Amino acid sequence: MICRFLFNRQAALTPMTRHEPVLLIEVLLYLNPRPGENFVDCTFGGGGHALALLQKVRPRGKVVGIDLDERAIADFSPKPSDLILVHDNYKNINQIILNKKNELGSDKIGGVLLDLGLSSDQLGAGDRGFSFQAKELLDLRFSRSLTPVSAADILRTASEQELVDIFKNYGEERLARPIAKKIIAHRVVDDHAFDSSTLAELVTDIYKRFYKRPSKKHPATKVFQALRIAVNDEYGNIRSGLRQAAELLSPGGRLVVISFHSGEDRLVKNFFRDQAKLGRLKVITKKPIEATEEEISENPRSRSAKLRAAEKI
């Protein structure tokens, strides 16, 4: 059994880490990086996981960091020579690694990490509407250059039933129908672009009609999550990324996924289960690994994180 108490969370951080990544100790434990191996971080973000992996695979190993958000790639500096950064969708991981084979020096991959969801940098970006705390353009795209339709476009053009389906399927929102009706009514009156605070207010008004007690979470949380998933086709990316990552791994290589809500976790759980039945992967986390109370107190974002890991047979 892997014992997390043998590791120190702060010791796992590197001097270049911009913020503490979620479940860092557990990621290192289950990916089990060793010197000379190559790894892929499919959701590079602020680079915390990737830099910690680099410390373990040096001097001959390398890490490929992929991110759909061009800012995450462009703004990262200084970049170590053994860190290969790629602005792309991780659903294209096989082609990405093929293109980077010469830089890697090998096509053998010892492990792949997917840390799903939003990064702290994206929440604080201030111009894409990820936070409903301020009046921002309701964009919700990770990449404007690679994703053509914004959340505001969807709200202006989707039918009531299409909105209901998005809120239910991607946000598990119980009030999907009345919220969709409210959005349709608003755009009939005001055909201007939706912004983040306007949508948050519309959803909050609906919640006040149906619930007397305020929720601990903001009422618009699930609606924003659903729109973000729809805009970026996150579930499609996860399905394709998991399949390609499993194919890419060398025998004994490991796939680790961190999810932040039930829809993501369900996709990962079912994929691991199906691959295990086919004899392609061995699941090494019978139950999802969650953050300790200590980590949650230091990093509240880790509260909803669930880690699952599997090994290539």
82-139 residue pLDDT tens: 999 999 999 999 999 999 999 999 889 999 999 997 766 655 555 678 877 778 889 9
The length of the chain, given as a count of residues: 313
Mean pLDDT over 171-178 rounds to: 97
Q: Higher model confidence: residue 238 or residue 17?
A: 238
Domain enclosing residue 93, as ranges: 4-121+234-312
Domain tally, the chain = 2
Specify the pLDDT at position 12.
54
Specify the pLDDT at position 6.
40
Task: Please tell me whether residues 153 and 173 are part of one structural domain.
Answer: yes
Q: Is 55 helix (H, G, I), strand (E, B) or coil?
A: helix
Distance CA 134, CA 301 (A): 19
Cβ–Cβ under 8 Å, residues 306 and 265: yes
Token pair belonging to 172:
């598990």
Share of the chain above pLDDT 90, in %: 81
Closest CA to 256 of 118, 46, 114: 114
Task: Please tell me whether residues 248 and 188 are part of one structural domain.
Answer: no
Q: Which of 57-71, 99-113, 180-194, 247-261 has the lowest mean pLDDT?
A: 180-194
Task: Please tell me whether residues 195 and 269 are part of one structural domain.
Answer: no
pLDDT band at 8 (very low <50, low <70, confident <90, very high): low
Q: Higher model confidence: residue 228 or residue 191?
A: 228
Residues contacting 284, CB < 8 A, separation 6+: 30, 254, 309, 310, 311
Helix residue spans in 130-251 (DSSP H): 151-157, 160-171, 176-189, 196-210, 221-232, 234-248
Q: Higher model confidence: residue 121 or residue 286?
A: 286
pLDDT band at 5 (very low <50, low <70, confident <90, very high): very low
Q: Which residues of 245-281 are buried (b: 16+ CB within 10 A; e: fewer)?
A: bbebbeeebbbbbbbbbebbbebbbebbeebeeeeeb
Please tell me whether the overall predicted TM-score, pTM, comes out greater than 0.85 for this model. Answer: yes
Token pair belonging to 302:
């880790």
Specify the pLDDT at position 192.
64
Q: Given the DSSP bridges, would you call strands 306-312 and 254-259 parallel, antiparallel or unpaired?
A: antiparallel
Q: Which of 182, 217, 232 is the last residue of a domain?
A: 232
Distance CA 295, CA 297 (A): 5
Q: Which of 167, 200, 232 is the last residue of a domain?
A: 232
Cβ–Cβ under 8 Å, residues 306 and 259: yes
Task: Please tell me whether residues 55 and 182 are part of one structural domain.
Answer: no
Task: Please tell me whether residues 96 and 240 are part of one structural domain.
Answer: yes
Task: Please tell me whether residues 203 and 263 are part of one structural domain.
Answer: no
Mean pLDDT over 256-264 rounds to: 96
Task: Please tell me whether residues 82 and 170 are part of one structural domain.
Answer: no
Specify the pLDDT at position 242.
98
